[in-house]
């Protein structure tokens, strides 16, 4: 197949895909229907070197079709080698593809396509934003990514462009790696790389690196570190990732000058030790060549300083779960019977009997009205009741029961108070979390606004610098142009002098030119024309109606003359005679092609002073502007540092406060559960004394032993 040097544009592919049956060579793709945009045209996802279309065949099979917009050297050989190598690997992250060298026809010309397996997944950035705050999910994804990089390393291959756009996350959390255009496999050893990868994910040394299995090492560490950092502190995403940005937490500017990077400084000073250590390691890796970088070594766990709110109970269950799991009820306590207490019962009977007798004697001795009698009777009964209650209070069982009842009442009040305190603390925790989220969002907006303002300030400063330097550049260019113009004019004059001297060597004689005899030579001589150096050209002047045109010879002085006897034929012969000698003159080795050194130095000296003066003025201006720009950059760095430090202090303070309130909630919940158990235990003990009562005691006093 003849190599294609010019490829269609994305728009031309869109036009072609409107008729899949005609444009595709693959019979299955000829039945396909492209996904359409809002205008009903095939929807293209355009990248740097290709446009990708989603198509669904008549059988319901969905593919991604990559149509190339530029030539990639040895493209077919590369894809064949990648396909052969990946086919032997069992890993889930790879996707199937089929390179078709003449897969599509556009404007009568066939071009290669890549038919790829369609993957139902979301991009890495969208997945991160959907799972912010889910520490386990993000840390697990970081582990999956580490496994992917280890698979690549063990297979001796490199993707070449590891970045968020080429990492998809399936619904089950599995990673899918796409876009194998720049992949290295051992079969491609010795060939050159076709791309240098996304700038925000590459080491500054990537441009000087060869094409080999170590291409991804810096990208591996950078992406893994970003995922781990976001899992440990979700606020980093709001503060370091620009909305819509083509990066995770760091950009190429951060790697280019680590010492002035506010993002890198914030990460290296982070209060989570794992984040600060990984950030320091990534900063170090950015200064080293790719071949010297180690393979990614993932963390076994991320240590975030926060107390556990789910302390295990004695049963081994978390505290929050223990209240929801039905436990086996302990056996009921043994029933405590009311004791005999013969002596106490006897004294109670005697006392009650004595009070009744005394009341009866009083009524018999004292003549009283019915009202007084009734009052006396009631008094006697009341005294008997009080006496019996007093004797009942001496019962040991009653004393124990009263103590347990008092403890149960106190435990009930403490349980209610603990529940109320827990609710207050949880409400305070929720309020603090809301405040922290708002502060993080406000900090992110402040940082974004500051970065935008600083960008505008630098852009305005650079535009002002360009405005001031441009006239000086134009003046230097003008001086140089004038110098070149004078040199060219001087050289042209030297060459003209040489040519004139050369042409004067050839004197016009009769018979030298066909058709020009002695008379014509004399006429020409009369007008001062004896050599090719005496005239420049021949022109024709149109005559009047019915008249022939008149021939004029243009002399070297610029004046034109009409020579008697010189018509069009002789004029043409004269012109050709002059042109032949002029061509030979211009081919002479003695013809000057450069000015003599002394003359050249004289001209250069006249312009050197002016040029040096303007260049010195420009250099002074550039030094001054560079100094001011450095000061402006330092000011920006300090501003961002102050804002970042404020944010970090707020985050650390919020973390400490959150840890404290979570600890208090945990302690209060534990206390609440302990009080509930204590209340229940006391209630069971109290139920064991349900036969110890004043009524049972009085029945025994009045009627003797009764059944329980």
At residue 38, φ and ψ (nearest 5 deg) are: -65, -20
Res 368: pLDDT: 52
Rg (CA), the chain: 52
Position 205 confidence tier, pLDDT thresholds 50, 70, 90: confident
Average pLDDT on 446-456 reads 85
Residues 286 and 145 in one domain: yes
The least confident of 266-275, 366-375, 455-464, 488-497 is 366-375
Residues 39 and 129 in one domain: no
The least confident of 229-233, 305-309, 363-367 is 305-309
3-state secondary structure 261-285: CHHHHHHHCCCCHHHHHHHHHHHHH
Residues 67 and 160 in one domain: no
Res 23: pLDDT: 92
> CA-CA distances (angstroms) from residue 377 to 371, 393, 561, 695, 703?
10, 24, 171, 22, 22
What's the token pair of residue 320? 């929050």
Predicted confidence (pLDDT) at residue 139 exceeds the cutoff of 90: yes
Predicted confidence (pLDDT) at residue 89 exceeds the cutoff of 80: yes
Mean residue pLDDT of the chain comes to 84
In a domain, 146, yes or no: yes
Angle at 316 between CA 313 and CA 320, to 5 degrees: 50
Residues 283 and 158 in one domain: yes
At residue 133, φ and ψ (nearest 5 deg) are: 90, -15
Contact indicator for 686, 333 with CB cutoff of 8 Å: no
In a domain, 455, yes or no: no
Residues 216 and 270 in one domain: yes
Res 311: pLDDT: 40
Predicted confidence (pLDDT) at residue 425 exceeds the cutoff of 80: yes
Q: Show which of 118, 137, 170 is a domain's final residue.
A: 118
Local structure of residue 333 (DSSP, 8 states): P
Residues 175 and 246 in one domain: yes
Average pLDDT on 272-290 reads 89
Rounded Cα distance, 283 and 281, in Å: 5
Residues 155 and 239 in one domain: yes
Residues 190 and 203 in one domain: yes
Residue with tokens 């197949």: 1
Res 705: pLDDT: 65
Predicted confidence (pLDDT) at residue 208 exceeds the cutoff of 90: no
Res 353: pLDDT: 79
Range of the domain at 200: 122-292
Res 4: pLDDT: 55
Q: Show which of 394, 409, 436 is a domain's final residue.
A: 394
Average pLDDT on 147-158 reads 92
Residue with tokens 């293209």: 44
In a domain, 480, yes or no: no
Residues 65 and 212 in one domain: no
Residues 225 and 255 in one domain: yes
What is the CATH number for 249?
1.10.510.10
Predicted confidence (pLDDT) at residue 665 exceeds the cutoff of 80: yes
The domain tally of the chain equals 3
Res 370: pLDDT: 64
Rounded Cα distance, 113 and 124, in Å: 26
Res 64: pLDDT: 93
pLDDT digits (tens, 9 = 90+) for 12-71: 999 899 989 989 999 999 999 999 887 788 999 877 688 999 999 999 999 999 999 988
The least confident of 106-120, 173-187, 196-210, 563-577 is 196-210
Instruction: Count CB atoms within 10 A of the CB of residue 468.
Output: 14
What's the token pair of residue 620? 């002074």
pLDDT digits (tens, 9 = 90+) for 556-598: 998 999 998 888 888 899 999 999 999 999 999 999 988 899 9
Helix axes 694-703, 370-393, angle to 10 degrees: 110
Res 229: pLDDT: 93
Res 367: pLDDT: 54
What's the token pair of residue 667? 């302690």
3-state SS class at 556: coil
Res 706: pLDDT: 52
Q: Which residues pair with 99 in a beta bridge?
A: 114
Give the list of residues 6+ apart from residue 272 with CB closer than 8 angstroms, or none.
232, 233, 302, 303, 304, 305
Contact indicator for 53, 65 with CB cutoff of 8 Å: yes
Rounded Cα distance, 170 and 168, in Å: 7
Question: Residue 282 class from Cβ within 10 Å (0-12 exposed, 13-18 middle, 19+ buried)?
Answer: buried
In a domain, 154, yes or no: yes
Residues 141 and 185 in one domain: yes
pLDDT digits (tens, 9 = 90+) for 502-530: 999 999 998 888 888 999 999 999 999 99
Give the list of residues 6+ apart from residue 510 with CB closer than 8 angstroms, or none.
516, 517, 518, 521
Average pLDDT on 652-662 reads 77
In a domain, 501, yes or no: no
Res 47: pLDDT: 74
pLDDT digits (tens, 9 = 90+) for 307-340: 444 444 443 444 433 443 444 456 667 777 777 7
Res 379: pLDDT: 77
Q: Would you mind telling me the total number of residues written for the chain in this entry?
A: 708
In a domain, 321, yes or no: no
In a domain, 245, yes or no: yes
Residues 114 and 154 in one domain: no
Position 547 confidence tier, pLDDT thresholds 50, 70, 90: low
Res 459: pLDDT: 87
What is the CATH number for 31?
3.30.200.20
In a domain, 235, yes or no: yes
Res 255: pLDDT: 87
Res 654: pLDDT: 77
Average pLDDT on 669-690 reads 85
pLDDT digits (tens, 9 = 90+) for 261-277: 888 888 988 888 899 99
Predicted confidence (pLDDT) at residue 611 exceeds the cutoff of 70: yes
Nearest to 181 by CA among 92, 291, 71, 87: 71
Q: Show which of 292, 321, 350 is a domain's final residue.
A: 292
Res 100: pLDDT: 93
């Amino acid at each position: 197949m003849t190599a294609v040097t010019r490829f269609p544009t994305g728009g031309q592919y869109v036009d072609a895909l409107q008729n899949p049956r005609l444009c595709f060579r693959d019979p299955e793709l000829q039945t396909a229907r492209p996904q359409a945009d809002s205008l009903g045209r095939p929807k293209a996802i355009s990248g740097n070197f290709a446009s990708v279309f989603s198509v669904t065949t008549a059988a319901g099979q969905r593919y991604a079709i990559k149509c190339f917009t530029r030539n990639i050297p040895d493209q077919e050989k590369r894809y064949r080698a990648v396909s052969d190598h990946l086919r032997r690997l069992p890993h889930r992250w790879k996707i199937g593809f089929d390179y078709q060298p003449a897969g599509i026809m556009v404007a009568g010309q066939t071009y290669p396509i890549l038919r790829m397996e369609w993957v139902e997944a979301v991009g890495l950035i969208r997945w991160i934003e959907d799972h912010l705050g889910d520490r386990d999910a993000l840390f697990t994804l970081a582990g999956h990514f580490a496994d992917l990089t280890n698979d690549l390393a063990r297979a001796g291959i490199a993707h070449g462009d590891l970045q968020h756009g080429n990492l998809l996350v399936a619904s089950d959390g599995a990673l899918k790696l796409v876009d194998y255009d720049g992949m290295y496999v051992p079969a491609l050893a010795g060939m050159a790389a076709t791309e240098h990868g996304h700038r925000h994910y590459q080491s500054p040394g990537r441009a000087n690196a060869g094409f080999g299995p170590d291409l991804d090492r810096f990208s591996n560490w950078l992406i893994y570190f970003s995922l781990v950092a976001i899992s440990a502190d979700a606020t980093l995403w709001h503060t370091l990732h620009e909305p819509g940005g083509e990066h995770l937490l760091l950009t190429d500017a951060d790697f280019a000058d680590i010492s002035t990077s506010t993002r890198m400084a914030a990460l290296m000073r982070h209060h989570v030790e794992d984040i600060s250590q990984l950030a320091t390691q990534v900063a170090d890796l950015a200064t080293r060549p790719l071949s010297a970088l180690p393979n990614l070594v993932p963390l076994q766990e991320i240590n975030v300083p926060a107390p556990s709110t789910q302390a295990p109970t004695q049963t081994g269950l978390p505290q929050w779960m223990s209240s929801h799991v039905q436990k086996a009820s302990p056996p009921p306590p043994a029933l405590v019977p009311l004791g005999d207490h013969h002596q106490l019962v006897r004294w109670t009977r005697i006392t009650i009997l004595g009070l009744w007798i005394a009341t009866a004697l009083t009524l018999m001795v004292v003549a009283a009205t019915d009202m007084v009698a009734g009052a006396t009777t009631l008094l006697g009964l009341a005294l008997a009741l009080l006496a019996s209650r007093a004797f009942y209070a001496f019962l040991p069982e009653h004393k124990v029961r009263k103590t347990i009842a008092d403890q149960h009442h106190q435990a009930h009040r403490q349980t209610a108070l603990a529940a109320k305190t827990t609710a207050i603390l949880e409400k305070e925790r929720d309020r603090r979390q809301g405040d922290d989220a708002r502060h993080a969002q406000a900090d992110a907006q402040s940082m974004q606004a500051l970065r935008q303002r600083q960008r505008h300030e630098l852009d305005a400063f650079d535009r002002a610098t360009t405005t001031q330097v441009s006239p000086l550049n134009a003046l230097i260019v003008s001086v140089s142009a004038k110098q070149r113009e004078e040199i060219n004019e001087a050289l042209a004059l030297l060459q003209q002098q040489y040519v004139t001297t050369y042409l004067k060597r050839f004197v016009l004689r009769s018979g030298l030119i066909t058709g020009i005899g002695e008379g014509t030579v004399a006429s020409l001589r009369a007008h001062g024309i004896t050599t090719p150096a005496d005239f420049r050209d021949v022109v024709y002047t149109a005559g009047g109606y019915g008249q022939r045109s008149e021939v004029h010879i243009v002399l070297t002085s610029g004046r034109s003359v009409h020579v008697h006897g010189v018509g069009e034929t002789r004029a043409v012969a004269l012109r050709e005679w002059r042109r032949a000698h002029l061509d030979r003159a211009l081919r002479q080795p003695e013809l000057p092609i450069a000015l003599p050194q002394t003359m050249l130095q004289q001209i250069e000296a006249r312009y050197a002073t002016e040029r040096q003066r303007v260049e010195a003025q420009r250099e002074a201006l550039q030094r001054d502007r560079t100094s001011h720009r450095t000061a402006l950059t330092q000011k920006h760095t300090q501003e961002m540092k102050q804002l970042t430090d404020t944010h970090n202090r707020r985050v650390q303070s919020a973390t400490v406060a959150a840890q404290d309130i979570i600890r208090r909630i945990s302690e209060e919940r534990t206390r609440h559960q302990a009080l509930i158990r204590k209340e229940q235990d006391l209630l069971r003990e109290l139920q064991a004394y349900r036969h110890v009562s004043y009524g049972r005691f009085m029945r025994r006093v009045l009627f003797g032993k009764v059944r329980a």
